[in-house]
Amino acid sequence: MANNEVTGQSENGLNLSGRLIEPFEVKHRRLDRPTVVVPPPRTAPPTVLGASPARVVTSPARPTAPLAAQAVLLAGLVALFAGLAVLFAPASPAAAHATVVSTVPQQGAVLGYSPTEVSITFSEPVALLPGRTQVLAPDGTRINAGEPRVQGATLRIPIRVADRPLGTYVVSYRVISADSHPVAGSWTFSVGAASATPPEPATVGVDPVVRVAVSASRYLGYVGLVLALGPAPVLARLWPRRLSRRGAVRLVRIGLGLIAAGALGGLWVQAPYASGAGLLDVSTPELAQVLGSDFGLVLLARLGILLLVAVLLPPLLRGAPARRPAAGVVGGRPRPSSRPWSRARLALLLLLTVAGLATWPLAGHAAAAPVPVASTAADVIHLAAASVWLGGLVVLFGFLLRTAHPRALGVVLSVWSRWAALAVLWLVAGGAVQAVIEIGGLRPLVGTGYGRLVLTKLTLLVALLTVAGYARRSIRRSTADPSGPAGDETAPRLGRLRRAVGVEVALGLVVLGVSAVLVQTAPARSAGIEATAVTSDSFAQTLQSPLYTLQFDIYPVQIGEYNTVHAYVYRPDGTPLPVVQWTVTTALPARGIEPTSVPMLGITPHHAIGSVAFPVPGDWELRFTIRLSEIDQATVRTVVPVR
State how far Cα 588 lies from the chain centre: 50
Of residues 501 and 46, more confidence is placed in 501
pLDDT at position 53 over 50 = no
Share of the chain above pLDDT 70, in %: 68
Across 540-550, average pLDDT: 85
pLDDT at position 31 over 70 = no
* CA dist 456 → 8, 310, 452, 459 (Å): 48, 38, 6, 5
pLDDT at position 322 over 50 = no
Across 515-535, average pLDDT: 55
Position 305: which residue type?
A: I
pLDDT at position 171 over 60 = yes
CB 121 within 8 A of CB 154: yes
pLDDT at position 88 over 90 = no
Reported as a pLDDT band with limits 50, 70 and 90, residue 328 is very low
Of residues 582 and 368, more confidence is placed in 582
Could you tell me where the DSSP H helices lie in 440-485?
A: 442-447, 449-480
Could you tell me where the DSSP H helices lie in 293-371?
A: 294-312, 314-317, 343-362
pLDDT at position 232 over 80 = yes
pLDDT attached to residue 449: 73
pLDDT in tens, 371-419: 778 888 888 998 899 888 888 887 887 788 777 777 777 778 778 878 8
CB 68 within 8 A of CB 381: no
pLDDT at position 581 over 90 = yes
Residues 322, 165: Cα–Cα separation, whole Å? 77
Of residues 42 and 628, more confidence is placed in 628
Of residues 252 and 281, more confidence is placed in 252
Which residues are within 8 A (CB) of 473 and not within 5 positions of it... i.e. 6 or more apart?
none
Of residues 172 and 478, more confidence is placed in 172
Across 602-631, average pLDDT: 91
pLDDT at position 629 over 60 = yes
Across 607-614, average pLDDT: 90
pLDDT in tens, 465-511: 777 777 667 666 655 554 444 444 556 666 666 677 667 766 766 66
Give all strands (DSSP E) within 81-217, no chain letters. Answer: 100-104, 110-111, 117-122, 126-128, 134-136, 149-151, 154-158, 167-177, 182-191
Helix (H) or strand (E) holding 608, with range, is: strand 607-614
By CB atoms closer than 10 A (0-12, 13-18, 19+), residue 7 is middle
Of residues 614 and 343, more confidence is placed in 614
CB 313 within 8 A of CB 236: no
Q: pTM here?
A: 0.61
* CA dist 402 → 64, 397, 409, 556 (Å): 8, 7, 10, 71
Residues 14, 186: Cα–Cα separation, whole Å? 65
Reported as a pLDDT band with limits 50, 70 and 90, residue 306 is very high
pLDDT at position 297 over 80 = yes
pLDDT attached to residue 517: 54
Share of the chain above pLDDT 90, in %: 11
Position 553: which residue type?
A: D
Rounded to the nearest 5°, which phi and psi values hold at 623? -125, 130
Helices and strands in the chain, H and E counts: 16, 22
pLDDT in tens, 354-364: 999 988 888 87
Residues 396, 479: Cα–Cα separation, whole Å? 18
Q: Is the dihedral of CA 262, 265, 270, 276 positive or negative?
A: negative
pLDDT attached to residue 585: 94
pLDDT in tens, 141-154: 888 888 888 888 88
Reported as a pLDDT band with limits 50, 70 and 90, residue 336 is very low
Of residues 1 and 525, more confidence is placed in 525
CB 156 within 8 A of CB 132: no
Characterize 112-121 residue by residue with b for buried, 16 or more Cβ atoms within 10 angstroms of its Cβ, and e for exposed.
bebbeebbbb
Residue 540 β-bridge partners: 553
- Nearest to residue 321, comparing CAs of 348, 341, 350? 341
Please state whether 517 falls in left (phi above 0), alpha (psi between -120 and 50) or beta. alpha
